Amino acid sequence: MDRISIYGISATGYHGVFDHEKRDGQKFIIDVVLHVDITRAAASDNVLDTVHYGEVSELVVEQIQAGPWDLIEKLGSEIADAILAAYPSVLQIDVVVHKPQAPIPVPFTDVTISLTRAQKQHTAIIALGANLGDPKATLAQAVKDLGQELEILKVSPLAITKPVGGPPDQPDYTNQVIEVRTRHSAHELLDLCQGIEAKHHRTREVRWEARTLDLDLITYDQLRLDDERLTLPHPRAAIRGFVLTPWSWMDPDAVLDGQLVSRLASEAADTKDIIRL
């Protein structure tokens, strides 16, 4: 995982067990390491696609000046929680709190605590498709159903696409892609999607058969997973124009496995037949 590191952020805080520490204050120094995928920022060269380390530094100073807390363990935890809440793209954070002026009655150089915290919010891409019944209405209801459990961040325009694989003579599909934020695990999100499919009478009798609703989990943060239930990123997403094209409409700078989704879409065999609604 890529990292953004900021060392030596300092400010006066009023943390400590003793009254004089809360009264007089002292210097605290903070190091933070942000574990975050910078592929998108490298492709776009746009500061909006990365974590602004200047803003992070200001947030750290705000936390140093907040409180006061008795323990630097508490200060470190507050800093980690504040950054993870403000920047969902940060998947993990390492924080070191230095207290070089701690009231210790023997010579010393520094006192530090170190902690690591993981992101509690996760970002996922879900692809929707249907070619039986009223696909437009079904997709709209599916997005609404997902929105009751997840935060919907972005929704793509609808796309009319030709069936890829499966039995012949199927109707055209209506496809869509959404970006969501959730506290569900990847498998919990899969369960949610399958429950919504079942609500819309989805069956799985023939591979790639016509369907009332299909919900595919495409990506979940930067997680790589391959078990009996779920593979992430989706193993065929990089060649499926009916996923890539609406995804690129929704987010022109989106990246999948280090490649621009828009570029992958232009190379997919089925893209030429896609109609944007």
| Residues counted in the chain | 277
Partnered with residue 216 across adjacent β-strands are 127
Report the C-alpha gap between 143 and 96 in whole angstroms.
41
Give 210's pLDDT tier (boundaries 50, 70, 90): confident
The pLDDT tens digits for 80-131 are 999 999 999 999 999 999 999 999 999 999 999 999 999 999 999 999 999 9
Q: What is the mean pLDDT of residues 200-219?
A: 81
- Residues 113, 178 within the same domain: no
Distance CA 37, CA 35 (A): 7
CATH of the domain at 17: 3.30.1130.10
Active site residues: 99
DSSP 62-99: HHHHS---S-HHHHHHHHHHHHHHH-TT--EEEEEEE-
Tell me what pLDDT residue 165 has: 76
Q: What angle do CA 170, 173, 174 make, to 5 degrees?
A: 160
- Which range is least confidently modeled, 2-11, 81-90, 111-120, 200-209? 200-209
What percent of the chain is modeled with pLDDT above 90?
90
Residue 208 has pLDDT above 70, yes or no: no
Shared domain check, 155 and 170: yes
Give the pLDDT band of residue 164 (cuts 50, 70, 90).
confident
Task: Quote the domain boundaries for residue 175.
Answer: 122-276
User: In this structure, are 152 and 25 located in the same domain?
Assistant: no
Q: How many domains does the chain have?
A: 2
Q: What's the CA gap between 58 and 60, in Å, rounded?
A: 5
Residue 127 sits in the same domain as residue 246: yes
Query: Do β-strands 112-118 and 231-232 pair in parallel, antiparallel, or remain unpaired?
Result: unpaired
